[in-house]
A and B are shown apart, each in its own frame.
Chain A
Amino acid sequence: MTEYNFAYLDEQTKRMIRRAILKGVAVPGYQVPFASREMPMPYGWGTGGVQVTAACLTPDDTLKVIDQGADDTTNAVSIRKFFQRTAGVAVTESTPEATMIQTRHRIPETALTEGQILVYQVPIPEPLRFLEPRETETRKMHELEEYGLMHVKLYEDIARHGEIATSYAYPVKVEGRYVMDPSPIPKFDNPKLGGSAALQLFGAGREQRIYALPPYTQVVSLDFDDHPFAASKAPHDCDLCGAKESYLDEVITDDRGSRMYVCSDTDFCAGRRGHGHVGRLGVPMEGTA
Chain B
Amino acid sequence: MMGQLAITPMAQDVPLLQVDGVTKRYGQRIGCADVSFDLFPGEVLGIVGESGSGKSTLLSCLAGHLRPDLGRVMFDTAQGPKDTLTMSETERRRLMRTDWAYVHQNPRDGLRMGVSAGGNVGERLMAVGARHYGSIRDSATDWLTRVEISAERIDDRPSAFSGGMQQRLQIARNLVTGPRLVFMDEPTGGLDVSVQARLLDLLRGLVRDMGLSAIIVTHDLAVVRLLADRLMVMKSGRVVEQGLTDQVLDDPQHAYTQLLVSSVLQV
Residues of A at under 8 Å CB distance from B? 131, 144, 146, 148-149, 151-152, 155-156, 158-160, 224-227
Which of B4-12, B17-25, B128-136 sits within the interface?
A: B128-136
* Bound Cα distance A156, B131 (Å): 14
Contacts A148-B97, A152-B126, A155-B133 known; list 8 others, CB within 8 Å: A148-B126, A149-B123, A151-B126, A152-B123, A158-B133, A159-B118, A224-B133, A226-B134
Which of these, B89, B90, B97, B126, contacts A155 with CB under 8 Å? B126
Which residues in chain B, 118-172, are within 8 Å of chain A measured between CB atoms?
Answer: 118-119, 122-124, 126-129, 131-134, 136-137, 154-155
A152 touches B112 (CB 8 A): yes
Mind listing 11 A-B residue pairs with CB under 8 Å? A131-B112, A144-B89, A148-B97, A148-B123, A148-B127, A152-B119, A156-B116, A159-B118, A224-B132, A224-B133, A225-B133
A residues near B124, Cβ cutoff 8 Å: 148
Q: Is B254 an interface residue (CB 8 A)?
A: no
A residues near B154, Cβ cutoff 8 Å: 159
Which of these, B116, B122, B127, B131, contacts A146 with CB under 8 Å? B127
A156 touches B115 (CB 8 A): yes
A155 touches B122 (CB 8 A): yes
* Bound Cα distance A205, B132 (Å): 37
Q: Is B108 an interface residue (CB 8 A)?
A: no
* Bound Cα distance A131, B114 (Å): 9
A residues near B97, Cβ cutoff 8 Å: 148
* Bound Cα distance A156, B134 (Å): 13
B131 touches A159 (CB 8 A): no
A residues near B208, Cβ cutoff 8 Å: none
A residues near B137, Cβ cutoff 8 Å: 159
Which of these, B93, B119, B122, B131, contacts A225 with CB under 8 Å? B131
A residues near B126, Cβ cutoff 8 Å: 148-149, 151-152, 155
A residues near B119, Cβ cutoff 8 Å: 152, 155-156, 159
* Bound Cα distance A254, B154 (Å): 43
B123 touches A159 (CB 8 A): no
* Bound Cα distance A78, B93 (Å): 48
Residue of A nearest to B88 (CB): A144
Which of these, B115, B129, B155, contacts A152 with CB under 8 Å? B115
* Bound Cα distance A226, B89 (Å): 32
* Bound Cα distance A224, B132 (Å): 5
Residue of B nearest to A148 (CB): B127
A residues near B112, Cβ cutoff 8 Å: 131, 152
* Bound Cα distance A144, B127 (Å): 12
B118 touches A155 (CB 8 A): yes
A residues near B129, Cβ cutoff 8 Å: 148
Q: Which of B123, B128, B132, B133 has the most CB of A within 10 A?
A: B133
* Bound Cα distance A255, B136 (Å): 46
A226 touches B127 (CB 8 A): no
Question: Shortest beta-carbon distance, B262 to chain A, in Å?
Answer: 45
Question: Shortest beta-carbon distance, B17 to chain A, in Å?
Answer: 23
Contact with A along B68-105 (1 / 0, CB 8 A): 00000000000000000000011001000100000000
